[in-house]
Structure 1
């Protein structure tokens, strides 16, 4: 158990449209160390404040864009007597489109939002300072999203999705520029973690018939088991158990359709050996 609250997505976001946008000011900022299950993108509209992430303190100022991945402990703190205005966007990727439950085609965004902070705390990308021209574009997008969210007129979800997609594209482009400026070794480590994560998913898809364990698959992804499972939820829309179950059921359906194997034989083929053991035990009683 962590010594700080972890806010569940189902408690903070609507499951049918897991999205929310808010303006944070000194009187409404969260000063308590906390984490959440969903992704958070924040942009400093004006002023300055302090941001504590993974035990490190960072100064945020106008034009800074930063991401808080799931389960990352963080909190805000006032910087002397300075005021600030920050726009906070909370969402799950599939709020944009159900097909984005698989973000494989947006690997750069996955790197920015999830992978890089997992390398070490020292490598945590705590913010990106956007150039002035990009700040203008981002602020315009965020104001449109905020207006749509507050009015919630007919079609507001589609309007938000369109503007949010633009924001993510800008984020991806800025992150690519950032990585380009980093050392070759640093970029290699990011690529290594991304590769390990997707290789772990491929391992599940090709070894689903084996006696798979979350701890072993997570080790292939170079992640802690709980984090790997939640990463799957964000990137593929399913937890480890849900994804493995889906893979096995789809394979079982194919075998039912294309072979003459009985249910027990198919269960064995797709990795449900425990079902066979249960059946055999019931027969012996």
Structure 2
């Protein structure tokens, strides 16, 4: 998922409504997207019938009825025909805040996050980037998708609330099904996903302990085993802040402690928390707190940022 890629990366505002970033549609052989591309939003796809090929993570995968897969932000992919076979695939595109304005409420569903955002990053040949739902779950999912399609097409009063409720239910079902799936796959899948999840949180810890250094997004993202753009996206999803926002918040917390607890000059404090230019430090501090570092120190405020 390189930032300077040879394929288009669509901003979600180009493809989805900014006020309600959600879309659901049916894809077939005649309407499938065969151009390699990526997008900022999450895409969930379910094979309703037939078969086609999905190109992702540098490989082709065969999709057949009952298969469910996730395309996370910034992952290059495309659909390809499989011989003369036709298919019907339901494609759900959305940004997490379409479900819940508080993104971290949604990320409490760890198994769904693992399935939708972590697992697709793992491209080992023995880890297929899809799960095949059992017949009973297929019926439930197909019923939910039918409701979502109908609400989206008819758009009667309250359709957004109805879509949010049904979409949230779909995500819960997917998370539960994925949990059952990994239980049947043994230790390998759980360990691979856990390794990538732990690397992500270790990268955050690294930011919290090395904030005084000249940190670069590329460096920290590598520790998270993620491309820079995807790492910043995941921070926004899990922490509610982009990379720059989170690093600034960590540095501001540290600087407020130093202002309250030491007699160091503001210039020295700026250097200690990772700022080479005091003017940049002063602007960032005022943006986060509403006051200058000097005013903050004089007020003796003990209040810290959330």
Question: TM-score, with normalisation over the residues of structure 1?
Answer: 0.85
145, 156, 170: which one aligns with 2:173: 170
Cα distance in 2 between the residues matched to 1:144 and 1:277: 51
Tell me how far apart the structure 2 counterparts of residues 48 and 108 of structure 1 sit (CA, whole Å).
Answer: 27
Question: Structure 2 residue aligned with 1:80, among 73, 80, 83?
Answer: 83
CA distance in 1, matches of 2:252, 2:21: 27
Could you say if the C-alpha distance between residues 253 and 73 of structure 1 is closer, same or farther in structure 2, counting changes exceeding 3 Å?
Answer: same
Residue of 182, 186, 192 corresponding to 2:185: 182
Q: Which residue of 2 aligns with 1:239?
A: 242
Task: Report the Cα distance in structure 1 between the residues aligned to 2:264 and 2:17, rounded to whole angstroms.
Answer: 43
In the alignment, which of 84, 92, 95 is matched to residue 92 of structure 1?
A: 95
Aligned residues: 279
Asked if 1:43 corresponds to 2:46, the answer is: yes
Cα deviation for residue 68 of structure 1 reads 0.9
CA shift at 1:196, angstroms? Answer: 1.3
C-alpha distance 261-93 of structure 1, shift in aligned 2 (>3 A)? farther
Match of 1:21 among 19, 24, 31: 24
1:1-285 matches, within 5 Å, as: 1-101=4-104, 103-249=106-252, 267-268=270-271, 270-275=273-278
Structure 1 gap segments, 5+ residues each: 280-285
5+ residue gaps, structure 2 = 283-306
CA drift of 1:169 comes to 0.9
**Pair 36,278 (structure 1): closer, same or farther in 2 beyond 3 Å:** closer
Q: Report the Cα offset of residue 211 of structure 1.
A: 3.2
> What SS class does the counterpart of residue 181 from structure 1 fall into?
helix
Separation in structure 2 between the aligned mates of residue 102 and residue 266 of structure 1, nearest angstrom: 35
Deviates more, 1:66-75 or 1:128-137: 66-75
- Give me the whole-angstrom Cα distance separating, in 2, the residues matched to 1:137 and 1:55: 32
Aligned-pair CA distance for 1:170: 1.0
Is the Cα contact below 8 Å between 1:24 and 1:86 reproduced in 2? yes
1:202–1:154 Cα change, 3 Å: farther
Across the aligned residues of Structure 1 and Structure 2, the Cα RMSD in angstroms comes to 2.8
1:109-152 superposed Cα distances (whole Å, 9 cap, x missing partner): 22111222323342553221111111111011111111222222
Q: How far apart are the structure 2 equivalents of 1:65 and 1:216?
A: 33
Question: Can you list the C-alpha shifts for 1:79-133, whole angstroms capped at 9, x where unaligned?
Answer: 2222211110111212111222465422222211122232334255322111111
- TM (norm. structure 2) is 0.79
Q: Please tell me whether the aligned partners of residues 20 and 91 of structure 1 are also in contact (alpha carbons under 8 angstroms).
A: yes
2:43–2:72 CA contact under 8 A, matched in 1: yes
Once the two structures are superposed, residues 166-218 of structure 1 have per-residue CA deviations (whole angstroms, 9 ceiling, x without a partner) of 11111111111221122323321211111111222233345434432213322
- CA offset digits 1:208-241 (Å, max 9, x no partner): 3443221332232122333322332343444311
* Secondary structure in structure 1 of the residue aligned to 2:68: strand
CA contact (8 A) 1:92 1:234 kept: no
Q: Which runs of 4+ in 1 moved over 3 A?
A: 101-104, 205-211, 233-238, 246-273, 276-279
